[in-house]
C-alpha cells in the first residue's frame, strides 16, 4: 500500500506537468513580445534623437545663408545631406515659410511651404523640422524626411521574438510527449502493482478441493 501511495503521488505530480509547460510557453511568448515592444520604443527614441541632431546641424549651417538671402549656399548645405542614403528629402525655408532650397531622393517632394511640427512617423519614415534662428531672431526652418528602418533590419529585430515563440511551441510539444509517455508507464505500473496485490491476497485452494481435483 505504501508503494501504491507513492505511485499515486507521482501520478499527481505528472498531472501538473502540462500546466507548467503551458505556463512556461506563455511566459516565453510574453517575454518575447515585451522585449520586442521595448526594443521598438528604444529604436524609435534613438532614431528621433539622431534625426533631430541632423536637423539641428542643418539649421545651424543654413542660418547665415538664410539671413543674407544666399540661396546658393543654402542649397549646397541642403544637398550635402544627399551623402546620407537614409535621407529621402530635405529642405530649408525662409522666415515666411517659403522654400529656399531642397531635394527629394524618393517619394513625395518636400512641401512648398512649411510650418513647425513635432516629429512624425509616417509609413516607416520619420519627419522632423527645426527652427532656424540667430541671436534670437527667427530666420526660417528646415525639414528632413528620413527612412526609419529598412525591411531587412526590422525583420532581424523581430527574429528574436519568432525564435522565442518557436522555443515555446517546442517546449509544449516535448513536455506534452514526455507527460504522455510517463503517464502510460505509470498506468502500467499501477496495473502490475494491483495484480501483485490481488495475487498476494488470494487464498490458496483448500485440501478438499485438491482431493476432489485429484
pLDDT for 73 equals 93
Q: What is the pLDDT of residue 75?
A: 93
Q: Is residue 56 part of a domain?
A: yes
Dump pLDDT digits (tens) for 13-25.
544 566 676 777 7
Q: What is the pLDDT of residue 64?
A: 92
In this prediction, residue 89 carries a pLDDT of 93
pLDDT at residue 4, rounded to an integer: 47
User: Where does residue 87 rank: exposed (0-12), middle (13-18), buried (19+ CB within 10 A)?
Assistant: buried
Confidence (pLDDT) at 2:
45
Q: Please report whether residue 148 resides in a domain.
A: yes
Q: Are β-strands 99-104 and 137-147 bridged in parallel, bridged antiparallel, or unpaired?
A: unpaired
Map residue 163 onto helix, strand or coil. helix
In a domain, 174, yes or no: no
Neighbours of 37 (CB within 10 A): 11
Asked, for residue 76, whether it belongs to a domain, the answer is yes
DSSP state letters, 141-160: EEEEEEE---HHHHHHHHHH
For residue 191, tell me if it sits in a domain: no
Q: Which domain holds residue 137?
A: 33-154
- CA 63 to chain centroid, in Å, comes to 41
pLDDT along the chain (214 residues), means of 10: 49 56 73 76 84 92 92 93 91 91 87 78 85 89 85 65 71 70 75 76 60 52
Cell of 104: 527629394
70 is a domain residue:
yes
Say how many domains are in the chain.
1
CATH number at residue 133: 3.30.450.20
Amino acid at each position: 500500500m505504501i508503494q501504491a501511495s507513492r505511485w499515486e503521488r507521482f501520478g499527481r505530480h505528472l498531472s501538473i506537468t502540462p500546466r507548467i509547460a503551458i505556463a512556461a510557453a506563455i511566459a516565453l511568448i510574453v517575454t518575447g513580445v515585451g522585449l520586442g515592444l521595448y526594443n521598438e520604443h528604444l529604436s524609435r527614441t534613438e532614431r528621433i534623437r539622431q534625426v533631430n541632431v541632423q536637423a539641428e546641424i542643418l539649421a545651424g549651417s543654413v542660418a547665415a545663408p538664410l539671413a543674407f538671402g544666399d540661396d546658393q549656399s543654402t542649397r549646397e548645405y541642403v544637398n550635402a545631406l544627399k551623402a546620407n542614403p537614409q535621407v529621402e528629402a530635405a529642405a530649408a525655408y525662409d522666415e515666411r515659410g517659403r522654400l529656399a532650397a531642397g531635394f527629394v531622393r524618393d517619394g513625395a517632394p518636400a512641401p512648398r511651404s512649411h510650418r513647425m511640427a513635432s516629429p512624425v512617423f509616417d509609413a516607416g519614415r520619420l519627419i522632423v523640422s527645426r527652427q532656424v534662428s540667430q541671436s534670437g531672431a527667427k530666420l526660417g526652418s528646415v525639414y528632413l524626411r528620413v527612412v526609419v528602418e529598412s525591411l531587412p533590419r526590422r525583420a532581424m529585430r523581430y527574429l528574436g521574438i519568432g525564435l522565442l515563440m518557436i522555443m515555446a511551441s517546442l517546449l509544449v510539444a516535448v513536455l506534452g510527449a514526455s507527460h504522455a509517455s510517463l503517464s502510460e508507464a505509470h498506468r502500467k505500473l499501477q496495473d502490475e502493482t494491483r495484480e501483485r496485490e490481488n495475487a498476494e491476497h488470494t487464498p490458496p485452494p483448500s485440501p478438499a478441493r485438491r482431493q476432489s481435483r485429484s
